[in-house]
Amino acid sequence: KNEVEQSPQNLTAQEGEFITINCSYSVGISALHWLQQHPGGGIVSLFMLSSGKKKHGRLIATINIQEKHSSLHITASHPRDSAVYICAVSGGGYGGSQGNLIFGKGTKLSVKP
Amino acid sequence: NAGVTQTPKFQVLKTGQSMTLQCAQDMNHEYMSWYRQDPGMGLRLIHYSVGAGITDQGEVPNGYNVSRSTTEDFPLRLLSAAPSQTSVYFCASSYQGGNYGYTFGSGTRLTVV
């Protein structure tokens, strides 16, 4: 079983729709990260959460530590939001390092005009 | 601009050749790491470093070597390239990893023929 599971794997939406991407994890964590990767592009950090909720523009990230679950919401989606969204957790680590990230496989979002 | 600089962006190698992927950051981050990204696999940790002179293995270290002689630089060496090392490689840095945000390089697309 993967330590970080994302759903859905693929998501197609119409412009303007409200979008939710889910992330569940099975390890103890110190923080959860949401990342964005545009096609052929680099990786950008969107949020880092250890509790509660964060908002940046049309993006909202929430985390429930007790349920080991996080969601990334996009309000009023736009074609430029089309990208792969990756959930990653830190605190489990390899070699005892708390700094290492464990990644989900990503959710590919396509927003149609 | 402050950030993580990765070079080269693209590289084709023949089986058995060696090469070094360069990674440099100018944010005085202690934590640096290398990942490979393969279709359907997500990002996987190759090697990481928590400071100059300190390196450790990640999930998939075989066939790769690293060193950290300065805070700024963290090169990844492929000792004898194999087709299985065809992948996209990302370098990332963080103030101290884990509970701090990550900055990723733009990636290196490596093909081994």
- Closest-CA distance of chain B to residue A14, Å: 25
Burial environment of residue A69 by CB neighbours within 10 A (0 to 12, 13 to 18, 19 or more)? middle
Could you report the per-residue pLDDT of A70-87, keeping only the tens digit for each?
999 999 999 999 999 999
Contact across the interface for B43 and A86, Cβ inside 8 Å: yes
Structure tokens that stand for B72 in this block: 């700024």
Mean pLDDT to the nearest integer, A17-36: 93
User: Which region, left, alpha or beta, applies to residue B42 given φ > 0 means left and ψ of -120 to 50 means alpha?
Assistant: left
pLDDT score, position B35: 96
Q: Does A79 touch chain B (CB under 8 A)?
A: no
- Closest-CA distance of chain A to residue B89, Å: 10
Q: Does A92 touch chain B (CB under 8 A)?
A: no
Contact across the interface for A99 and B50, Cβ inside 8 Å: yes
pLDDT band at A92 (very low <50, low <70, confident <90, very high): low
Q: Does A48 touch chain B (CB under 8 A)?
A: yes
pLDDT score, position A89: 92
- Cβ within 8 Å of residue B59, ≥6 positions away: A94, B44, B45, B46
Contact across the interface for A42 and B96, Cβ inside 8 Å: no
Beta bridge partners of B7: B22
Contact across the interface for A104 and B31, Cβ inside 8 Å: no
For each of chain B's 113 residues, which pLDDT tens digit applies?
679 999 999 999 999 999 999 999 999 999 999 999 998 888 999 999 999 999 999 999 999 999 999 999 999 999 999 999 999 999 999 987 767 789 999 999 999 99
Contact across the interface for B45 and A88, Cβ inside 8 Å: no
